Amino acid sequence: MTLIVQKYGGTSVGSPERIRAVAERVKAWRAQGHDLVVVVSAMSGETNRLLALAKELAAEPDPRELDQMVSTGEQVTIALLAIALHEIGVPARSYTGAQVAVKTDAAYGKARIEAIDDARMRADLAAGRVVIVAGFQGIDGEGNITTLGRGGSDTTGVALAAALKADECQIYTDVDGVYTTDPRVVPQARRLHKITFEEMLEMASLGSKVLQIRSVEFAGKYNVPLRVLSSFSEGGAGTLITLETEDDMEKPVISGIAFNRDEAKVTVRGVPDTPGIAYRILGPVGEANIEIDMIVQNVGADGLTDFTFTVNRPDYRKVMSVLERIAHDIGAREVSGDDKIAKVSLVGVGMRSHAGVAAKMFETLARESINIQMISTSEIKISVVVQEKYMELAVRALHTAFDLDAAV
């Protein structure tokens, strides 16, 4: 007997018909002799709808109440799926995160799972029931409802699979696997049969929202076999996310391309090039709870230097006001910003053993006359910041240049 955790995303449960289709799929897996725990998201659009309601009442709603409210989307789908399963003769019970004790810290809106109590789920499975759990939500030490951040049902799925030592965690979505890049942007993108946790983590961190970052972290940490599959088609193998066993040399140099429009860039010009200047700029930014991504400090000239960094786009105004406030104190000549940028990144473990990837990337972008504004590299990725309007062109050109296009 194997235990499988399946997670169905918003579009996969977006209507009663879709929920019925999920119920049929669950029934079929169960008929093959598997124990099943099923995690579901809110119906597509529901989480956005709920958040918009709260924003009509307050610009910055209280985080506790926001979680209390937005977690209801998933509570609807768990019960609907249980009802659909009962209709086709499958015993099932639904639970909220709190009911199966998905315990988290108290960071509303981005809570981290700390522990999961599997007793109740085990008892149901032993009694032959399918267990349905609301994704995206948990409960903190004081009994408050928390949520795990957008896309957090993936993390619920993987965390349950880890806690239950499931044989596989299957993430069902509206694409049939992880592709070389978002297939909605590049129709020639190819499905990957396999990708390493390490690469998937980079892809997710750099903007590929097919899996929430934390779900990949969890899967890597607890070595949960993770597969991305389509809930709209039958029988595909999807994409397996694994620890790599093959030799890196055998791998393609680049496995995928990620991109992210959710960024903005700010520059502090003409600050004194003295020890501690980075701290004096970034300290107040950190204190304002603004996350920083890429950072570039120019080589100083005449004792002055320029300092550029990127932040999440929703933090753009906030970071500009922090910098304008401290500009005088730190002796900056000018503060400027641009929220029409995008980050494009190449990811691949093959980069470790191949030189010239950066050169080829820059050459490809040059040929398209796309100016590179910032560059950052690590062992298995290279990211560039470009003007937002060139993002899709950059992704397509790189996809072709690095031989990622599907054969026609």
Q: Shortest distance, CB of residue 210 to Mg ion, whole angstroms? A: 7
Is 197 in contact with 220 (CB distance < 8 Å)?
A: yes
Q: Does 390 bind ligand ADP (CB under 6 A)?
A: no
Say how many residues touch ligand ADP, by CB under 6 A.
19
**How does DSSP classify residue 301?**
B
From candidates 10, 73, 138, 157, binder to ligand ADP by CB under 6 A:
10
Toward ligand ASP, which CB reaches closer, 96 or 308?
96
Per DSSP, the residues of 125-183 read: HHTTPEEEEETTEEE-TTS-EEE--TTTHHHHHHHHHHHTT-SEEEEEESSSS-BSS-T
What are the two backbone dihedrals, phi and then psi, of residue 25, each rounded to the nearest 5 degrees?
-65, -45
Q: Does 337 bind ligand ADP (CB under 6 A)?
A: no
The stretch among 8-16, 82-90, 110-118, 371-379 that binds ligand ADP (CB under 6 A) is: 8-16
User: Least distance to ligand ASP from the beta carbon of 149, Å?
Assistant: 7
Nearer to ligand ADP (CB atom), residue 162 or residue 395: 395
Among 95, 108, 179, 197, binds ligand ADP (CB under 6 A): 179
Residue with tokens 């929430």: 212
Task: Decide: residue 171, CB within 10 A, 0-12 exposed, 13-18 middle, 19+ buried.
Answer: buried
12 binding ligand ADP? (CB under 6 A):
yes
Subset of residues 198 to 217 that bind ligand ADP, contact rule: CB under 6 A:
208-210
What is the C-alpha to C-alpha distance for residues 41 and 136, in angstroms, rounded to an integer? 7
Among 35, 46, 74, 182, binds ligand ADP (CB under 6 A): 182
Pick from ligand ASP, Mg ion, ligand ADP, none: which does 280 bind, CB < 5 to 8 A by kind? Answer: none
Question: Is residue 151 a contact residue for Mg ion (CB under 5 A)?
Answer: yes
Chain-centroid distance, C-alpha 372: 25
73 binds Mg ion (CB under 5 A): no
d(CA 27, CA 41) in angstroms, rounded, equals 19
In terms of CB distance, is 154 or 182 closer to ligand ASP?
A: 154
- Give the separation between CA 22 and CA 141, rounded to whole angstroms: 33
Determine the interface stretch with Mg ion among 4-12, 130-138, 192-200, 235-243 (rule: CB under 5 A): 4-12
Query: Is the Cβ–Cβ distance between 8 and 39 less than 8 Å?
Result: yes
The first and second tokens of residue 208, run together, are 């590929």
Q: Which is nearer to Mg ion, 6 or 373 (CB)?
A: 6
- Helix (H) and strand (E) counts in the chain: 12, 18
* 51 vs 304, beta carbon nearer ligand ASP: 51
Query: How many residues of this chain bind Mg ion (CB under 5 A)?
Result: 2
Q: Report the alpha-carbon distance of residue 233 to residue 305 in Å, rounded.
A: 55
Beta strands in 179-244 (DSSP E): 194-196, 226-230, 239-242
Question: Which residues are registered as beta bridge partners of 212?
Answer: none
Q: CB of 362: closest distance to ligand ADP in angstroms?
A: 23
- Asked if 14 is part of the footprint of Mg ion (rule: CB under 5 A), the reply reads no
E-only strand ranges, 235-276: 239-242, 256-272
Residue pair 211/204 in contact by the 8 Å Cβ criterion: yes
At its nearest, how many Å lie between ligand ASP and the CB of residue 361? Answer: 32
Write the CB contacts of 58 (distance below 8 Å, at least 6 apart in sequence): none
Based on the shown chain and the rule CB under 6 A, indicate whether residue 156 belongs to the binding site for ligand ADP: no
In one-letter notation, the amino acid at residue 29 is W
CB of 380 to ligand ADP, least distance (A): 15
Instruction: Between 134 and 344, name the residue whose CB sits nearer to ligand ASP.
Output: 134
Q: Which of 97, 138, 151, 220 binds ligand ADP (CB under 6 A)?
A: 151
Residues lying near ligand ASP in the complex (CB under 6 A) are found at 9-10, 41-42, 47, 73, 135-136, 150-154
Residues that bind ligand ADP (CB under 6 A): 9-12, 41, 151, 173-175, 178-179, 181-184, 208-210, 256
Residues that bind Mg ion (CB under 5 A): 9, 151
